[in-house]
Amino acid sequence: MHPVDTMGQTREGAEYGFAFLDEDAKRELRRSIFKAVCIPGHQVPYASREMPIARGFGTGGMQLTLALLGPDDACKVIDQGADDSVNAANIRNFFALTCPGVTGTLRTEEASVIQTRHRIPELPLRADQILVFQVPYPDPLVVVEPNAAKRRRMHGRADYARLWVKLYEDMVAFDEITISHRYPTRINGHYIIDPSPIPRFDVPKLHQADCLYLFGAGREKRIYAVPPHTDAVPITFNDVTFAVENFRDKATGKRHCCRRCGADDSFLDEFLDDDGARVFQCSDAAYCDMRLERLEAAE
């Protein structure tokens, strides 16, 4: 037991144990993780405790991370690809306060557990690394069926006809599949998952990866997994290829590069600089920093 001082709010009269949650809660989480790994893509219901950050801010991912972390782990937290965005900084602070011994790191390659919102790091993850996703909507069928009991039945029967119809309707209306992120992805030939709001750019990284991907939806109380070396295939038609964000300059036809490190293979954030010019920059801050370091070392 050790004192916690969260965000300058001093605490009195309450002691918090390692990793905040009580041991029974962590045990339940670990059992649910095992089940999720054994049935790739299946949404495993779990109790989902309230966290001291609000629902929607990553309580599902946070519970998974708290159940996984031991004192010898190195933990990285990213939001929109960056370690220092407010939510990531906030969650990392919480881990630092409640998990004594755990090392915080900004480097992808150093982390044993990475918690993420909306991105998969650019650097391929290894077998000894786990990526934990924060998930707002665990069920890809929610866009076509609001009733949860019916959706469970549809998943059990791998009845995804209505998702295909939605894609088809897109083609008819726009001549494009309009799903931008949260792209429905079939895992191990059966369950279709919502891969969390990662861009389509990141979806291929789920396929036959070396690392374990864990997904935690706190508010909706579901855990699911894409285990290592598992098929993860975005659903599409034979004659419509799955297209990732292309970052092509409409005028020149060339792909935009990161204005900072020059990368032409990363997912880019697009924004206006102080002069109102449109600029592009790596969304994965650690990747961008690593490239800059290498460029500097090479000089």
Partner 1 sequence: MAYVAIRGGADAIKGSSRLMDAMRAMGESAPLELDQIERQMPLLHSKVLSEGSLYHPRLASLALKQSLGDSLEAAFFLRAYRSTKPRLGETATHDTRNMRVIRRVSAAFKDIPGGQMLGATPDYLHRLFRFELMDEGAERFDEITRDWLGNRPENDTALTFPKVLDSLREEGLLAPLENSDETPFDITREPLIFPVPRSAQLATMARGETGGLLALAYSNMRGYGDVHPTVGELRVGYVPVMVPHPVTGKPMEAGEVLVTECEIVAMFEKSDDGAPVFTLGYGACFGHNEVKAIAMSVLDRAISVAREKGRIENPSEDPEFVLLHVDGIESMGFCTHYKMPHYVTFQSDMDRLRAAQGKTEEATDAPR
Residues 103-132 binding partner 1 (CB under 8 A) are 118-119
For residues 66 and 75, what is the distance between their CA atoms, to the nearest angstrom? 11
Residues 276-295 touching partner 1, rule: CB under 8 A, are 281, 283, 285
Under rule CB under 8 A, residue 178 binds partner 1? yes
Beta bridge partners of 133: 116, 215
Q: Site size for partner 1, by CB under 8 A?
A: 77
Under rule CB under 8 A, residue 143 binds partner 1? no
Q: Which residue stretch of 42-50, 155-163, 208-216, 226-234 sits at the interface with partner 1 (rule: CB under 8 A)?
A: 42-50
Under rule CB under 8 A, residue 48 binds partner 1? yes
Under rule CB under 8 A, residue 256 binds partner 1? no
**Catalytic residue flag (residue 262):** no
Catalytic residue from among 211, 258, 262, 276 = 258
DSSP annotation string for the chain? -B---BTTB---S--B-TTSS-HHHHHHHHHHHHHHHHSTT--EE---PPPSS-TTSSHHHHHHHHHH--TT-EEEEEETTBSSSHHHHHHHHHHHHHSTTPEE-S-GGG-SEEEEES---SSPP-TT-EEEEE-S---GGGGT---HHHHHHHHHTT--HHHHHHHHHHHHHHSS----BS--EEETTS-EE---S-BGGGGGGGTT-SSEEEEEETTTTEEEEE-TT--EEE---TTS-------B-TTT-PBP--TTT--SSS-EEEEE-TTS-EEEEES-HHHHHHHHHHHHHH-
Under rule CB under 8 A, residue 50 binds partner 1? yes
Q: Which residue stretch of 41-49, 124-132, 184-192, 234-242 sits at the interface with partner 1 (rule: CB under 8 A)?
A: 41-49
Residues 17-36 touching partner 1, rule: CB under 8 A, are 17, 20-25, 28
Of 22 and 264, nearer to partner 1 (C-beta) is: 22
Per-residue mark of binding to partner 1, 182-201 (x: CB under 8 A): x--------------xxxxx
Under rule CB under 8 A, residue 94 binds partner 1? no
Q: Which of 186, 205, 221, 291 binds partner 1 (CB under 8 A)?
A: 221
Residue with tokens 């998990």: 99
Q: Which residue stretch of 104-112, 148-156, 186-194, 231-239 sits at the interface with partner 1 (rule: CB under 8 A)?
A: 148-156
For residues 250 and 98, what is the distance between their CA atoms, to the nearest angstrom? 48
Of 57 and 215, nearer to partner 1 (C-beta) is: 57
Under rule CB under 8 A, residue 179 binds partner 1? yes
Beta bridge partners of 248: 255
Nearest-approach distance from CB 229 to partner 1, in angstroms: 27
Tokens linked to 35: 């089940």
Tokens linked to 249: 């300059």
Catalytic residue from among 75, 99, 257, 282 = 282
Catalytic residue from among 61, 104, 261, 276 = 261
Q: Which of 64, 75, 82, 154 binds partner 1 (CB under 8 A)?
A: 82
**Catalytic residue flag (residue 41):** yes
Contact 87, 49 (CB under 8 A): no
Under rule CB under 8 A, residue 245 binds partner 1? yes
**Catalytic residue flag (residue 288):** yes
Q: Which of 210, 264, 265, 273 binds partner 1 (CB under 8 A)?
A: 273
**Catalytic residue flag (residue 211):** no
Amino acid at 84: D
